[in-house]
Structure 1
Amino acid sequence: MEINSFNQWMDTLAEALQRAESMGMSREVITRSATELGNFLAANVDPDVPENKLLKALWQQGTDSEKQALASMVVKLIDSKIKH
């Protein structure tokens, strides 16, 4: 899947979050999965959009607990997008 904008990326993540919640996944499991996804993306993907480049740079500099916090904030951001 090609992501051409940050909004497109957020929409994709919103769909995934809604699916996870509909399957009964807890917020803790979702955040842990988001952290694992962040690790994979940081190691394997060269982002094209500036916002994702910033997220990757933050991810690469963060400790494990900072990465979990960043993943949690992204999940909250996506959740607020869904609810508005």
Structure 2
Amino acid sequence: MSVLDNFDRWKEFLGDRVQQAQEAGMSNQQIEEVAVRLGEYLSNKVDPENPQERLLKQMWESSPSPDDKHAMARIMMNLVTKH
């Protein structure tokens, strides 16, 4: 079972990666840039495995501006780090 099969596992995985990046000294802006690139990759290359991922993909694809995608990346960071 991959982390993409279950949305809670996916959030936990992302939260762990964000925490590791912060502990390695990356700024939130740098982590956000990585999150945007990851969002682009997932949207273009990975089929959604569950309803939550389908919704995220639809939201990503309906957000043509870089500002919208950065906002989504920040929201996902907040979601997985439980701020």
- 5+ unaligned residues in a row in structure 2: which ranges? none
Separation in 2, partners of 1:64, 1:49:
25
Q: Which runs of 4+ in 1 moved over 6 A?
A: none
Corresponding residue of 1:79: 81
Are 2:19 and 1:9 equivalent residues in the alignment?
no
Corresponding residue of 1:24: 25
Corresponding residue of 2:48: 47
Identity %, equivalent residues: 32
Aligned residues: 81
Cα RMSD of the aligned pairs, angstroms, is: 1.3
Corresponding residue of 2:58: 57
Separation in 2, partners of 1:34, 1:7:
18
Deviation at 1:4? Answer: 2.0
Q: TM-score, normalised by structure 2?
A: 0.91
